[in-house]
A and B are shown apart, each in its own frame.
Chain A
Amino acid sequence: MGETITFDYMPAGPEDLQVDQDDPLHGDLLKLNMGPQHPATHGVLRLQMVLDGERIVSCDPVVGYLHRGKEKSAESLGWRKFFPHTDRLDYVQPLLNNIAYARGLESLAGIEVPQRAQEVRVLLMEVSRIMAHLIYLGTTAIDLGAVALFFMTFTEREKTYELLDAYTGHRMNNTYIRMGGVYADIDDDTARAIRTWVEAFPAKIDEFEAMLTGNAIWYGRNKDVGVLSRADCLDLGLTGPNLRGSGEEWDLRKTEPYSGYEDYDFDVPVGTVGDCYDRYLVRIEEMRQSAHICLQALDKLEASKGSEFLLKDRRYVLPPQSSVHSSMEELIHQFKIVTDMRLPRGTTYSCVESSKGELGFLLASDGTACPLRCHIRAPGLLNVQAIPRVAEGRLFSDMVAIIGSLDFVMGEVDR
Chain B
Amino acid sequence: MSTLERMAAILPAGTFVEAHAEKAKDGTLTLELEAEALTQALPRLAAEAGFETITFVTAMDHMDADGAVKGQRFEVCYQFLSLAHGDRVRLLLGVDEENPKAPTATKAFAGAAFMERECFDMFGIVFEGHDNLRRLLMPEAFEYHPLRKDFPHRGIEPDKLYNQWNRERGGAPS
Tell me if A107 and B111 are in contact (CB < 8 A): no
Q: Is B126 an interface residue (CB 8 A)?
A: no
Residues of A within 8 Å of B, CB-based: how many? 43
Q: A72-B147, A347-B24, A350-B26 are in contact. Are A362 and B77 (CB under 8 A)?
A: yes
CA–CA, A379 to B111, complex, Å? 11
**A375 and B146 within 8 A (CB):** no
- CB pair A76–B112 under 8 Å, yes or no, is no
B62: nearest chain-A partner, CB-CB: A372
Task: Of the listed stretches B12-20, B32-40, B51-59, B162-170, name the one at the interface; the rest are far from the partner chain.
Answer: B51-59
Given A255-B86, A349-B28, verify A237-B112 contact (CB < 8 Å).
Answer: yes
Residue count of chain B within 8 Å CB distance of chain A: 39
Measured in the bound complex, the distance between the Cα atoms of B90 and A314 in whole Å is 33
Across the interface, name the chain B residue whose C-beta is closest to A363. Answer: B25
Asked if A102 lies at the interface with its beta carbon under 8 angstroms from chain B, I say: no
Checking A69, A235, A385 against B146 with a beta-carbon cut-off of 8 angstroms, the contacting residue is A69
Determine the main DSSP class of A at the interface with B. Answer: mixed
Contacts of B1 in A (CB 8 A): none
Bound-complex Cα distance A75 to B46 (A)? 34
Q: Nearest CB to that of B114 among chain A residues? A: A385
For the complex formed, measure the closest distance between the CB of B141 and the CB atoms of chain A, giving whole angstroms: 13
A94 within 8 A of B: no
**A75 and B25 in contact (CB under 8 A), knowing A235-B109, A349-B79?**
no
Contact digits for A349-382, partner B, Cβ 8 Å, 1 yes 0 no: 1100000001010101000000011010100011
Tell which of A238, A349, A360 touches B111, judged by Cβ atoms closer than 8 Å.
A238
B111 nearest in chain A by CB position: A237
Cα(A248)–Cα(B26), bound, Å: 25
Q: Cβ of B21 < 8 Å from any Cβ of A? A: no
Any B CB within 8 A of the CB of A39: no
Judge whether B137 is part of the interface by a CB distance below 8 angstroms: yes
The answer to whether B86 and A348 touch across the interface, beta carbons within 8 angstroms, is no
A377 in contact with B56 (CB, 8 Å): yes
| Chain A residues at the B interface, C-beta cutoff of 8 Å | 63-64, 67, 69, 71-73, 75-76, 107-108, 110, 233-239, 248, 250, 255-256, 346-350, 358, 360, 362, 364, 372-373, 375, 377, 381-382, 384-385, 389, 414-415
**Can you add 16 more A-B contacts, CB < 8 Å, to A63-B136, A237-B55, A237-B115?**
A63-B137, A64-B137, A73-B153, A108-B25, A236-B111, A255-B86, A347-B24, A347-B25, A347-B30, A364-B60, A377-B55, A377-B56, A381-B114, A381-B118, A384-B114, A385-B113
5 contacts between A and B (CB under 8 A): A237-B54, A349-B26, A349-B28, A349-B55, A415-B137
